[in-house]
Structure 1
Amino acid sequence: MQHSPSIVAMLIVFLILLGIMWLGGRILAKWHPVYAGKRARAGYWLVTALAVVILIFSRWLRPLSGFPGEWFRYFIYAAYVWMVGLVFMLVVLLAGHGVRLLARKLSQQSKPLQAGRMVPGGVTRREFLQRAITVVPAVPFAMSAYGVIDGDTKIVANRYTLSYAQLPFALDGFTIAQISDTHIGPFFGMDKLERVLDMVRQDEPHLLAITGDLVDDLDLLAPTIERLTAFQAELPCGIFYCWGNHEYFRDISRIRKALYSSPIAVLENSHQAVKDGLYLAGVDYPWGKNKAEQETKRQDYFAQSVSKIPADAFTVFLTHHPDFLDNAFMAGVPLSLAGHTHGGQVAVFGASVLPVQYKYMKGMFRQNGSYGYVSAGAGHWLPLRIGCPAEISFFKLKRGIS
């Protein structure tokens, strides 16, 4: 079954962006007279319109796989810097207007400031403040540029040592690498995949788990499978894969055929014995019309994936959707690996500011001796990360009491 964002959802997103663009222009014009002139307003709408056209243009042309070429990617980045900067600017200027109103109210209740008092540089305090506030709108765009550059270039390696009393002796020291949500396409080319695999190689894991959303650009599907197939030969226990949701947004039949024709082990509501009592189980993405239907599918998929695994086996569970962690915790699965959330991509003091929140958003969770990990992802479909870098995760299993 092919899934894709509904027309209604896309229309809602477009209307929200249109509202942000309109409100941003209005607030910017009121922020300082320099932004209220005809040229400034015309420039604002010209750049905004160009950004929208570039993003729409890039949606269908997939710049890394043909015309107009990789060079166009930088225009896409600039467009994202502008559009994300508008959102940040809206927040900053709304907060700034609030501070202004509060300052005016307080100034009316206190001794008036001496407007003509000089500050270093030979200008009055009022002139200094007027000049200073003109640069405030540039701050959100600087933040946006930082987020785009950092999101595109920074990948961290997170390493965890997990202890289990029931771990078979033969698995002591066994290491699993996880990558998730690469979204290979406009912002994650083959060069970046090679960089990620090099980082995985350095830790010498026994196997690699890929928890969904591998490819967004189907023109890069064949070279991706080819590269992973070659890399598989370097891993003692190979590569294991479970489906994400973006595979269904593209062409699930084509992706399924490519993966099943490769040596990569696809875990689709199934499991596979690895070695020395280690089993890997994995599930499909739980599509549902509502929460209840999705929960029913989760229960069914999970039950299928672990059915007939020996009771004394050590099981590692792979899922794209993090809600499956509840099922795994209830079943006492020792280790579960998930993705999907990207960690929210923008975080403040480690907490995601994403409006949509998940019970298991990012990082390590533990219940009754079982561990569950939600990866922030190695890639993204929106090239922006602040306080939530892309990651590769490593899990070393140790026998002992945690």
Structure 2
Amino acid sequence: MPRWIFPLIIVLVLAVILEIYTFQALKTISKSKFLRYGFLLISVAAYVNFLLIMLNYSRSDGQTPKFQMAVGVLLTVLVPKLVILMILFGEDVYRLVLKAIATISNTDTQPLVGRRKFVSQVALGLAAIPFVSFIYGIVQGKYNYKVIKYQLSFKDLPAAFDGYTITQISDIHSGSFTNKKKIQYGVDLINEQKSDLMLFTGDIVNNKADEMDNWIDVFSKLEAKEGKYSILGNHDYGDYMDWEKPEDKIKNFQDVKDIHQKIGFDLLLDEHRYIEKDGQRIALLGVENWGKGFNQAGDLQKASAKIKKEDFKILMSHDPSHWQEKVKNDDFNYHLTLSGHTHGLQVGIEIPGFIKWSPSKYVYKQWAGLYEEFGRFINVNRGFGYHAFPGRVGIWPEITVIELKKG
């Protein structure tokens, strides 16, 4: 039996419960059968589309844009109804409590018809927020590129690098892309930053190297004054799909590594490069993917073997759990680490200076933005592309620009 059958049954049972509550909410506030059954028909269409996609899905295909869109439409239908369920179920519990009290005390309960209508209106109103947000996220939010700038000061930064700028991008996930014009706009926005150095922190594809075939011409136009460097992410190894033969996976992995050269990036595989300026230098290190609990291919000691402890060091490591578990406490002193991976789960709420929240925070201690401990920094880029869910809601695609200052 396919592994997805049991989760699918759970989803279907939940869907039935959600539809019952949503139908009742609509019935309470409106007598229009067209409204009630129209909503139901849209939901059934989303369920049937998702079911058909799953029945024809093969891990050897990877997460295609068609698969991702089916997931996105399903979530757009389900999440608002979860809001309705929580509110109306709470109302049902309240009514049951009142009825139990009345039965025990042998008193009459007051009619709650008017209250039920009001609660249904509130539930539907609140449910409209995620519904509209998810539609926006799928249509436009995933292209709502944001340039986020930081200025970081270090006492031991070589003076020649005072004012040196770095553009970081991460998580391209080219296998998800469908709109070349929008992606070209994002690439142009990266180039507008005119940084000294460009660093890409992994996940250039979802699974297969050929996902990048139609995008080589776009990403090869990325520019930086003094070089472009990159590392691998967890998706670049091809671990998330079934391969007919082991040698197919090996060839795909080599093809993925070759992409970096095709678009002008120097791929660092547990290696370092010295960046020199006016007779001074800083060390740039790049490790293979290292994630807590999975795919710990990265070897920090190997990458650091030929550099000195007193060197100013910038480390590229795709998964921020590497910094949390290994890097930040290492007395070799890695001044600045650049990561990606989390995408901020592509869904959350961010109002600069007031709130930054996403379910991703319950998985990763460092999940989006800049963090500092012991005078050492990590920036977790929210990602340029998108994966699984074909959109972004509140957590927008990011282009990071970091200016180094001697403090």
Same topology, TM > 0.5:
yes
The reply to whether residue 90 of structure 1 matches residue 89 of structure 2 is no
Amino acid corresponding to residue 213 of structure 2 in structure 1: A
Structure 1 residue 315: deviation in Å? 1.2
Structure 1 residue 213: deviation in Å? 1.1
Structure 1 residue 25: deviation in Å? 2.8
Contact kept, 8 Å, 2:162 with 2:406, in 1: the verdict is yes
Partner of 2:301: 303
Contact kept, 8 Å, 1:317 with 1:328, in 2: the verdict is no
Contact kept, 8 Å, 2:216 with 2:262, in 1: the verdict is no
Secondary structure of the equivalent of 2:398? strand
Structure 1 residue 179: deviation in Å? 0.8
Aligned partner (choices 375, 386, 398) of residue 391 of structure 1? 398
Contact kept, 8 Å, 1:20 with 1:86, in 2: the verdict is no
Query: How large is the RMSD of aligned CA atoms in angstroms?
Result: 3.8
Amino acid corresponding to residue 344 of structure 1 in structure 2: L
Residues of 2 paired with 1:85 and 1:42: CA distance?
A: 11
Partner of 2:237: 248
Residues of 1 paired with 2:143 and 2:149: CA distance?
A: 20
Aligned partner (choices 142, 152, 160) of residue 142 of structure 2? 152
TM-score (norm 2): 0.76
Contact kept, 8 Å, 2:201 with 2:232, in 1: the verdict is yes
Residues of 2 paired with 1:89 and 1:284: CA distance?
A: 41
Summarize deviations over 1:160-193 as a string: whole Å, max 9, x none. 0000010001101111101111211333544333
The reply to whether residue 238 of structure 1 matches residue 237 of structure 2 is no
Partner of 1:213: 203
Contact kept, 8 Å, 2:371 with 2:377, in 1: the verdict is yes
Residues of 2 paired with 1:213 and 1:355: CA distance?
A: 20
Cα 1:166–1:44, aligned 2, differ >3 Å: closer, same or farther?
closer
Cα 1:314–1:56, aligned 2, differ >3 Å: closer, same or farther?
farther
**Residue segments in structure 2 that go unaligned for 5+ positions in a row:** 242-251, 350-354
Partner of 1:18: 12
Structure 1 residue 81: deviation in Å? 3.4
Summarize deviations over 1:50-109 as a string: whole Å, max 9, x none. 244367779859888xxxxxxxx7x97586234333133124322332035326756988
Amino acid corresponding to residue 394 of structure 2 in structure 1: G
Summarize deviations over 1:201-232 as a string: whole Å, max 9, x none. 2221011111111123644523434443343x
Secondary structure of the equivalent of 2:174? coil
Residues of 2 paired with 1:195 and 1:56: CA distance?
A: 36
Cα 1:389–1:128, aligned 2, differ >3 Å: closer, same or farther?
same
Cα 1:86–1:355, aligned 2, differ >3 Å: closer, same or farther?
farther
Residues of 2 paired with 1:399 and 1:151: CA distance?
A: 37
Residues of 2 paired with 1:388 and 1:342: CA distance?
A: 8
Secondary structure of the equivalent of 2:328? helix
Amino acid corresponding to residue 49 of structure 2 in structure 1: L
Cα 1:50–1:304, aligned 2, differ >3 Å: closer, same or farther?
same
Partner of 1:172: 162
Cα 1:395–1:252, aligned 2, differ >3 Å: closer, same or farther?
same
Structure 1 residue 342: deviation in Å? 0.5
Amino acid corresponding to residue 243 of structure 1 in structure 2: L
Aligned partner (choices 351, 361, 376) of residue 382 of structure 2? 376
Residues of 2 paired with 1:13 and 1:281: CA distance?
A: 41
Report 1:251-400 matches (<5 A): 251-260=252-261, 263-275=264-276, 276-286=280-290, 291=293, 301-326=299-324, 327-331=326-330, 332-348=333-349, 349-354=355-360, 357-381=363-387, 382-400=389-407
Contact kept, 8 Å, 1:244 with 1:320, in 2: the verdict is yes
Partner of 1:69: none
Contact kept, 8 Å, 1:154 with 1:390, in 2: the verdict is yes
Amino acid corresponding to residue 361 of structure 1 in structure 2: W
Structure 1 residue 133: deviation in Å? 6.5
Partner of 1:120: none
Amino acid corresponding to residue 187 of structure 1 in structure 2: F
Amino acid corresponding to residue 45 of structure 1 in structure 2: V
**Residue segments in structure 1 that go unaligned for 5+ positions in a row:** 1-6, 65-72, 117-124
Partner of 1:191: 181
Partner of 1:67: none
Summarize deviations over 1:141-160 as a string: whole Å, max 9, x none. 23322332353231111100
Residues of 2 paired with 1:320 and 1:278: CA distance?
A: 20
Q: Percent identity?
A: 24
Residues of 2 paired with 1:277 and 1:188: CA distance?
A: 41
Residues of 2 paired with 1:40 and 1:154: CA distance?
A: 29
Contact kept, 8 Å, 2:314 with 2:334, in 1: the verdict is yes
Summarize deviations over 1:101-132 as a string: whole Å, max 9, x none. 3267569889977889xxxxxxxx57964984
Contact kept, 8 Å, 1:58 with 1:76, in 2: the verdict is no
Summarize deviations over 1:354-387 as a string: whole Å, max 9, x none. 4961122111111111111111111111123222
Residues of 1 paired with 2:273 and 2:356: CA distance?
A: 35
